[in-house]
């Protein structure tokens, strides 16, 4: 067994896992963070997307031991107790999610995109979501919501620093 | 996944030592970005499962993109995202940026490494053709020390490289004489996002501007032979030939002749040959357009 | 070279099962504060049916969507429902839910009528109130009426109902009859670019004009259409389960089963056709399945328009389109030769 | 007094600043409140036609929606199902001893352990786990419950099944001609047949200006819900089982589960949480009886979630169709008669084939006024993945055929495709192929609205131009 310590959603978390445990399994089984989903387990669907040290990754394609000492952000860390993240707010308002299973991964990909590129073009948004398969929505209302969040930053420059 | 032990290497020497230590007695796999390895291991039968995984993802001396006296050195652990964001690569080899961009999606590009991609040595390896077209050389590190070889020879066959069981791919070098060589890469997949290549082609050319002829033209083909290959008849045809659409068209046909594709569930061999002809011409057009643009810049 | 083309396709699609009974039952309870609870045996599988049902019940009771809580999909606690299938939830379960709400509402009318000094038949609901038709200022808050129903009349306002679409069995020999209660209609138009050297098809734009009767929730209708189109794009161009000669699947994974990613989807423009079905809840029919019906046909017609080839088997992969273009050129060449001779 | 006040404030401000310096770094700025500028649609009356947000939108966005695979009960075991991997065979023997002996394996069952091993929405031709005969490669033959998913998966390799292979039938046209007995003897191989007959097609063709013929084919596709099938069973001491399931139809699912388990319906409770996508693929039971039996055998809750490959191989798919169309038209483009023959590849089991057959046949004429029609449809068994309910029940397939032919006819007659459709479209009060008088018919309205939005009459989309994006 390997001891893995990482910062998850701002908190230090430690778990003892078998060496072959993926980050996704550790998050779901050990830390009870079931927001990240297992849809294919081989990196095709993106439902397991989380951020590690600020970059979006497929948590099913990373061993937990590889994330040792790193900073992990999952869907559970996107909102504060007081406030939804603007992406969550706009996804809700625009009806961007239907069955919702791909949602946590899509939101993390969108968050990673906006962190790097606060004002993305539509093709850039499509490129950023290409690793997240969705069968319900045709991606249309997700893209609209991400554009709306970007637009929000124009209207409220202060929002830039938080998303 | 089936149980295995993980040994994490601190640096390249440690990585080689771990490999040498475990390869003798157990089935060992090397973990870099993990995007190919872990996907492979998830549904692997017991006969394919490794007992030991050597994790080299924290080996910092395999990172970094820098100019050296040999040329441009790209560490094997450089991720596809890092290639896309590298100012020096964007400036010298936009084709490498394009090639990296066609790999997987953002998440896999953030994890996946150039070295890891090359070491898979699948015939459709997306990083392969551009580097082969640029006569890239690889540095291999093992218990016996360092050795170099052309990338084209590093690929031995489908999923086979020249690496010995105690060796690692350390870096990829694009030789000095090819720095800034106009290159163009095209991949044709079954869809736009997360596409696997039916074929991929890269062409690099120098232009003799006095005669407007091709010089040192290289055409590399992926997914149409057991490994990435040079389209040698196309290359020799182009040498010294005036740059015309007809010449590029003819080179395309020759390249299609050089290809030895198979038919599989993704496409027939015949279609792959047709694509090679078209894509070769288009990469030559692209490389020439880039050459012209670079010349105007100066 | 890229060749631009456009293609149109329209369709019709029924709501509910073919002749076979496919009932839904529902229970509506109006709470003492004027909110309501709907019990339904249908399942939320992503379409948004629970939201639609809440809107239907809310409409019937004159309250807001947020005021209706939906309890669903538990065989111990919810009434029988044929389920999330056959684009039937809005129409069949919706009708059942509306009828159940109407029955519960009737109890409120009977409680409010003597207080407001009118007959129950003279009452209506509007904006959380029960009011006299034609005299909206004579009203009571629905919560007050509901609380009174419980506390004074001793008759908690609960309604239950079921609904089964009206059909007539088909004649065994000729197939004549009335297999479905109602149908929806739609048209989609696709715009594509076809690379005439590689056969690659880029779907650039899809315009979709769908009938669903009254759109209970236009946002969710759009979502259904957009999602259905993505399934249609995959059906048209990419998706196929392949088998080896032994009958085993060759591509049972998302690596080699090619479904559309965000980069493969075109710009989608959705219009909802003005329509009203008197047999549906508030004129609604349904929208789930029909959204994916005409997409492939529209795209294949657009390919035909762009490069003049008719691909007769799906999916129209780049390879298939390329082969058709090659065959067409070879034929044209033969005709020229034949004409010259 | 007046002058003193600012001084105090300044002093306090200084104190605040000092305290601030000593304080730990402030927490990151929380997002600004997003003002909802329009009143929230969910709170509006009347409720119908409101763009109300979904009741599950917030939990979805927060990652708090609990799907079955997110549920863990105390002591829960994980089940995995061994798949046949051969398309057609007789099962000679199933040896589970080695798997049962593995540490961590708690129970193993085979097809012989299923109390009533047949189910299906119309024909009861499907086993929970194959016992004597394998009809497609995705058939389950045994199941394991273990303390971890990994152990359960590894145990599958230790189950040894001996098969006697039978030549599989893969081509539906070959299956159509197959001599009886068919695959599921004594049942016939053509397990569904439907005819819609109206008017006189031969006469209509004779009177037609031209008769067009075309043959079209479609492929097998998968629903690909992002959430794989999953179920979790747990028994209480009164002999009552609760099954959490991804079923989209719990009432009929309960009937099948009760039947296969041989337990009264009153002792079966099915709870479907929010399901992560259905599209028709989750309309019949899959793993539910398996987890229920394993749970009964072990006395512990048991969960089984499909792997992605199982999702493809062991759930239903869309019927491939072979469609022959023959249509007679006037010079002006009016359709006089149409003859259609549909062959549906029905896969290994009936599932929802009867419904698909019926809808495909009824809808195959298209949304057009056709007085003379003969449509005939067959569905046949093959040894391929079972085909069943999928969004559209045969409609996307026949629409591809009738709308492709419509364009071919319009082109040959020199008529604009939009005009040709408008000329033939169903109208209010039109009679359907089954002579049903139709109401609320808006084919023409939808055609005109789409054409208007697209700019059809302005020639949009017909000019050559460069693309916005490309795969190359």
Domains recognised in chain B with CATH numbers: 5-55 (no CATH), 60-178 (3.30.465.10), 183-297 (3.30.390.50)
Number of domains in chain A: 2
Same domain, A13 and A65: yes
Residues 6+ apart with CB under 8 A from C277: C182, C213, C214, C283, C284, C285, D439, D440
| Chain A contacts to B (CB-CB under 8 A) | 2, 18-20, 22, 41-44, 46, 49, 55-58, 60-63, 65-66, 109, 112-113, 126-128, 130-132
> Which residues on C lie below 8 Å from D359 (Cβ)?
14, 18
What CATH code is carried by the domain that includes residue A123?
1.10.150.120
Alpha carbons B283 and B102: distance in angstroms, whole number = 15
Residues 6+ apart with CB under 8 A from B297: none
Catalogue the long-range contacts made by A9-12 (C-beta closer than 8 Å, 24 or more residues apart). Answer: A9/A33, A9/A72, A9/A73, A9/A74, A9/A76, A9/A77, A10/A77
What pLDDT is attached to residue D1? Answer: 42
Determine whether B297 is exposed, middle or buried from the number of CB atoms within 10 Å of its CB (0-12, 13-18, 19+).
exposed
Residues 6+ apart with CB under 8 A from D221: C234, C235, C239, C240, C241, D317, D318, D390
* Catalytic annotation, pick one of C60, C191, C222, C289: C289
Residue whose tokens read 């005009």: D419
Same domain, A65 and A91: no
Residues of chain B with pLDDT below 70 are none
> Which residues on C lie below 8 Å from B105 (Cβ)?
261
Same domain, A93 and A70: no
Judge whether B193 is closer than 8 Å to chain D, CB to CB. Answer: no
Same domain, A39 and A95: no
Same domain, A66 and A93: no
Alpha carbons D365 and C194: distance in angstroms, whole number = 29
Distance, in angstroms, between A7 CA and closest chain B CA? 18
pLDDT tens-place values along chain C, 341 residues long: 999 999 999 999 999 999 999 999 999 999 999 999 999 999 999 999 999 999 999 999 999 999 999 999 999 999 999 999 999 999 999 999 999 999 999 999 999 999 999 999 999 999 999 999 999 999 999 999 999 999 999 999 999 999 999 999 999 999 999 999 999 999 999 999 999 999 999 999 999 999 999 999 999 999 999 999 999 999 999 999 999 999 999 999 999 999 999 999 999 999 999 999 999 999 999 999 999 999 999 999 999 999 999 999 999 999 999 999 999 999 999 988 887 66
CB distance D398 to D363 below 8 Å? yes
- Does the beta-carbon distance from A138 to C45 stay under 8 Å? no
Alpha carbons D47 and A94: distance in angstroms, whole number = 17
Sheet containing strand C68-72, strands side by side:
C68-72, C36-40, C24-30, C158-163
Q: Which of A58, A77, A96 is the last residue of a domain?
A: A77
> Which residues on C lie below 8 Å from B194 (Cβ)?
261
Domains defined for chain D, CATH in brackets: 65-168+229-305 (3.90.1170.50), 172-221+317-454 (3.30.365.10)
The token pair at C221 is 């209708």
Alpha carbons B181 and B197: distance in angstroms, whole number = 24
> Which residues on C lie below 8 Å from D270 (Cβ)?
73-75
Query: Which residue in B188, B265, B275 is closest to C251 by CB distance?
Result: B265
pLDDT tens-place values along chain D, 472 residues long: 444 444 444 555 565 666 655 655 554 444 444 455 556 899 999 999 999 999 999 999 999 999 999 999 999 999 999 999 999 999 999 999 999 999 999 999 999 999 999 999 999 999 999 999 999 999 999 999 999 999 999 999 999 999 999 999 999 999 998 776 688 988 899 999 999 999 999 999 999 999 999 999 999 999 999 999 999 999 999 999 999 999 999 998 999 999 999 999 999 999 998 999 999 999 999 999 999 999 999 999 999 999 999 999 999 999 999 999 999 999 999 999 999 999 999 999 999 999 999 999 999 999 999 999 999 999 999 999 999 999 999 999 999 999 999 999 999 999 999 999 999 999 999 999 999 999 999 999 999 999 999 999 999 998 543 333 334 3
Residue whose tokens read 């089964």: C164
Same domain, A99 and A153: yes
Query: Which residue in D395, D426, D467 is closest to C293 by CB distance?
Result: D395
Same domain, A71 and A99: no
Residues in chain C: 341
pTM over 0.90: yes
Query: Which residue in C47, C220, C268 is closest to A138 by CB distance?
Result: C268
Question: D87 to each of D117, D182, D341, how far by Cα in Å?
Answer: 19, 15, 28
Same domain, A143 and A124: yes
What pLDDT is attached to residue D469? Answer: 34
Residues 6+ apart with CB under 8 A from B83: B65, B74, B89, B96, B97, B100, B114
Residue whose tokens read 């016939």: D188
Domains defined for chain C, CATH in brackets: 2-14+183-332 (3.30.365.10), 24-162 (3.30.365.10)
* ipTM of this predicted structure: 0.96
Strand locations in A18-120, DSSP E?
A: 49-52, 55-58, 71-73
What pLDDT is attached to residue C202? Answer: 98
What pLDDT is attached to residue A163? Answer: 41
Distance, in angstroms, between B134 CA and closest chain D CA? 20
Taking only Cα atoms into account, the Rg of chain B, rounded to an integer number of angstroms, comes to 19
Distance, in angstroms, between A68 CA and closest chain D CA? 23
Question: What are the pLDDT digits (tens) for C77-97?
Answer: 999 999 999 999 999 999 999
Residue C32 known to be catalytic: no
Alpha carbons A60 and B198: distance in angstroms, whole number = 26
> Which residues on D lie below 8 Å from C304 (Cβ)?
404, 407-408
- Does the beta-carbon distance from D62 to A100 stay under 8 Å? no
What pLDDT is attached to residue D7? Answer: 45
Alpha carbons C171 and D470: distance in angstroms, whole number = 51
The three-state secondary structure class of B95 is helix
Please give the helix or strand (H or E) that residue C222 lies within, else none: helix C218-237
- Does the beta-carbon distance from D157 to B2 stay under 8 Å? no
Same domain, A153 and A99: yes
Q: Which of A55, A77, A99 is the last residue of a domain?
A: A77
CA atoms within 13 A on the CB side of D233: 26
- Does the beta-carbon distance from A139 to C47 stay under 8 Å? no
Query: Which residue in B46, B192, B195 is closest to D157 by CB distance?
Result: B46
CB distance D96 to D155 below 8 Å? no
Alpha carbons B135 and B148: distance in angstroms, whole number = 13
What pLDDT is attached to residue D30? Answer: 45
CB distance D117 to D109 below 8 Å? no
Same domain, A18 and A48: yes
DSSP D169: P
CB distance B41 to A62 below 8 Å? no
Same domain, A52 and A112: no
**Angle at the Cα of B14 from the Cα atoms of B10 and B18, rounded to 5 degrees:** 115
| Residue-number span of the structural domain to which A132 is assigned | 86-161
The token pair at A39 is 């849809």
What CATH code is carried by the domain that includes residue A9?
3.10.20.30
Identify the band that residue A139 occupies on the pLDDT scale cut at 50, 70 and 90. very high
Same domain, A91 and A63: no
Q: Which of A16, A46, A77 is the last residue of a domain?
A: A77
All chains having 3 or more CB pairs closer than 8 angstroms to chain D: A, B, C
């Amino acid at each position: 067994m390997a001891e893995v310590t990482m910062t998850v959603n701002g908190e230090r978390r430690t778990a003892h896992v078998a060496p072959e445990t993926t980050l996704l399994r550790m998050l779901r089984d050990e830390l009870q963070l079931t927001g990240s989903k297992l849809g294919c387990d081989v990196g095709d669907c993106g439902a397991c997307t989380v951020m590690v040290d600020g970059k979006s990754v497929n948590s099913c394609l990373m061993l937990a031991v590889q994330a040792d000492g790193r900073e992990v952000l999952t869907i559970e860390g996107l909102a504060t107790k007081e406030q939804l993240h603007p992406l969550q707010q706009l996804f809700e308002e625009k009806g961007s999610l239907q069955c919702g299973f791909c949602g946590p991964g899509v939101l993390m990909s969108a968050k990673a995109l906006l962190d790097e590129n606060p004002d993305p073009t539509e093709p850039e948004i499509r490129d950023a979501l290409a690793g997240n398969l969705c069968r319900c929505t045709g991606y249309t209302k997700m893209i609209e919501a991400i554009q709306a969040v970007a637009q929000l930053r124009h209207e409220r420059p202060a929002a830039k620093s938080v998303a | 996944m089936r149980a295995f032990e993980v040994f994490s290497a601190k640096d390249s020497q440690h990585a080689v030592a771990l490999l040498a230590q475990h390869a003798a007695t157990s089935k060992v796999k090397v973990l870099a970005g993990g995007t190919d390895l872990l996907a492979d291991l998830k549904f692997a039968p017991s006969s394919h499962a490794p007992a030991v995984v050597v994790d080299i993802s924290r080996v910092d001396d395999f990172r970094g993109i820098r100019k050296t006296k040999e040329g441009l050195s790209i560490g094997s652990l450089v991720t596809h995202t890092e290639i896309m964001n590298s100012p020096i690569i964007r400036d010298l080899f936009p084709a490498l940026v394009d090639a990296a961009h066609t790999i997987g999606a953002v998440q896999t590009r953030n994890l996946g490494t150039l070295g890891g991609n090359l070491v898979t040595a699948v015939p459709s390896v997306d990083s392969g053709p551009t580097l082969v077209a640029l006569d890239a050389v690889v540095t291999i590190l093992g218990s016996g020390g360092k050795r170099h070889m052309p990338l084209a020879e590093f690929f031995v066959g489908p999923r086979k490289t020249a690496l010995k069981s105690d060796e690692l791919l350390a870096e990829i070098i694009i030789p000095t004489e090819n720095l800034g060589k106009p290159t163009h890469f095209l991949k044709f997949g079954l869809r736009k996002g997360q596409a696997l290549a039916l074929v991929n082609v890269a062409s690099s050319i120098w232009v003799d501007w006095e005669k407007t002829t091709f010089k040192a033209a290289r055409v590399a083909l992926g997914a149409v032979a057991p490994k990435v290959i040079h389209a040698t008849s196309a290359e020799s045809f182009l040498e010294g030939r005036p740059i015309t659409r007809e010449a590029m068209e003819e080179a395309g046909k020759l390249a299609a002749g050089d290809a030895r594709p198979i038919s599989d569930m993704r496409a027939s061999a015949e279609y792959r040959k047709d694509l090679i002809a078209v894509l070769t011409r288009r990469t030559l057009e692209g490389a020439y357009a880039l050459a012209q643009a670079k010349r105007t810049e100066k | 070279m890229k060749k631009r083309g456009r293609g149109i396709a329209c369709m019709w699609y029924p709501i509910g099962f073919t002749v076979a009974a496919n009932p839904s039952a529902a229970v509506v309870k109006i709470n003492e504060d004027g909110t309501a609870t709907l019990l339904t045996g249908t399942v939320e599988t992503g379409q948004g049916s629970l939201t639609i049902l809440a809107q239907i019940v809310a409409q019937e009771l004159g309250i807001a969507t947020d005021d209706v809580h939906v309890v669903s999909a538990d065989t111990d606690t919810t009434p029988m429902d044929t389920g999330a299938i056959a684009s039937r939830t809005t129409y069949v379960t919706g009708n059942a839910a509306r009828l159940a709400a109407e029955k519960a509402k009737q109890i409120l009318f009977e409680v409010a009528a003597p207080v407001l000094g009118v007959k129950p038949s003279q009452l209506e609901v509007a904006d959380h109130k029960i009011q006299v038709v034609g005299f909206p200022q004579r009203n009571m808050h629905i919560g007050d009426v509901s609380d009174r129903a419980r506390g004074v009349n001793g008759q908690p306002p609960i309604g239950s109902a079921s609904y089964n679409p009206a059909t007539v069995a088909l004649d065994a020999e000729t197939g004549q009859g009335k297999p479905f209660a109602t149908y929806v209609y739609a048209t989609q138009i696709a715009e594509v670019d076809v690379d005439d050297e590689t056969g690659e098809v880029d779907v650039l734009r899809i315009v979709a004009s769908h009938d669903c009767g009254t759109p209970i929730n236009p946002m969710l209708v759009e979502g259904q259409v957009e999602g259905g189109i993505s399934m249609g794009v995959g059906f048209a161009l990419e998706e196929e389960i392949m088998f080896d000669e032994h009958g085993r699947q060759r591509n049972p994974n998302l690596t080699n089963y090619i479904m559309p990613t965000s980069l493969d989807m075109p710009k989608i423009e959705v219009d909802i056709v003005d329509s009203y079905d008197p047999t549906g809840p508030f004129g609604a029919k349904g929208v789930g399945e029909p959204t994916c019906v005409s997409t492939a046909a529209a795209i294949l017609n657009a390919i035909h328009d762009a490069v003049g080839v008719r691909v007769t088997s799906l999916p129209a992969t780049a390879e298939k389109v390329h082969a058709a273009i090659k065959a067409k050129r070879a034929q044209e060449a033969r005709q020229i030769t034949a004409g010259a001779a | 007094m007046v002058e003193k006040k600012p001084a105090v404030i300044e002093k306090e401000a200084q104190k605040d600043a000092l305290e601030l310096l000593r304080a730990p770094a402030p927490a990151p700025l929380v997002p600004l409140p997003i003002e909802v500028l329009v009143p929230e649609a969910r709170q509006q009356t009347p409720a119908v036609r409101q763009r109300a947000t979904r009741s599950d939108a917030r939990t979805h966005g927060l990652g708090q929606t609990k799907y079955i695979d997110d549920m863990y009960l105390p002591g829960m075991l994980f089940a995995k199902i061994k798949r046949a991997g051969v398309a057609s065979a007789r099962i000679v023997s199933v040896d589970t001893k080695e798997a049962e002996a593995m540490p961590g394996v708690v129970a193993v069952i085979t097809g012989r352990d299923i109390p009533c091993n047949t189910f299906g929405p119309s024909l009861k031709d499907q086993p929970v786990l194959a016992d004597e005969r394998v009809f497609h490669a995705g058939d389950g033959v045994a199941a394991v419950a273990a303390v971890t998913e990994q152990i359960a998966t590894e145990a599958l390799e230790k189950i040894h099944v001996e098969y006697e292979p039978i030549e599989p039938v893969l081509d539906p046209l070959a299956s159509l001609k197959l001599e009886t007995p068919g695959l599921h003897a004594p049942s016939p191989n053509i397990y569904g047949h439907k005819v819609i007959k109206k008017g006189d097609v031969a006469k209509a063709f004779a009177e037609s200006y031209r008769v067009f013929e075309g043959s079209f084919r479609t492929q097998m596709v998968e629903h690909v819900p992002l959430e794989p099938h999953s179920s979790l069973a747990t028994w209480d001491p009164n002999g009552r089982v609760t099954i959490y399931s991804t079923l989209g139809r719990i009432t009929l699912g309960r009937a099948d589960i009760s039947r296969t388990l041989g337990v009264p319906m009153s002792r079966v409770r099915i709870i479907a949480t929010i399901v992560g996508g259905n599209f028709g693929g989750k309309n019949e039971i899959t793993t539910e009886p398996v987890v229920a039996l394993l749970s009964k055998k072990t006395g512990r809750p048991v969960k089984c979630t499909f792997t992605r490959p199982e999702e493809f191989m062991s759930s239903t798919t869309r019927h491939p169709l072979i469609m022959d169309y023959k249509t007679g038209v006037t010079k002006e483009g009016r359709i006089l008669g149409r003859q259609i023959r549909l062959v549906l590849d029905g896969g290994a089991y009936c599932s929802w084939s009867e419904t698909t057959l019926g809808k495909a046949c009824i809808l195959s004429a298209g949304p057009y006024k056709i007085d003379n029609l003969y449509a005939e449809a067959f569905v046949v068994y093959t040894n391929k993945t079972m085909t069943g309910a999928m969004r559209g029940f045969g409609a996307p397939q026949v629409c591809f055929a009738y709308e492709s032919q419509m364009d071919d006819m319009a082109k040959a007659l020199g008529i604009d495709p939009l005009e040709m459709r408008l000329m033939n479209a169903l109208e209010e009060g039109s009679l359907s192929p089954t002579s049903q008088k139709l109401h609320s018919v808006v084919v023409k309205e939808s055609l005109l609205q789409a054409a208007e939005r697209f700019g059809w009459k302005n020639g949009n989309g017909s000019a050559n131009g460069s693309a916005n994006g490309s795969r190359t």
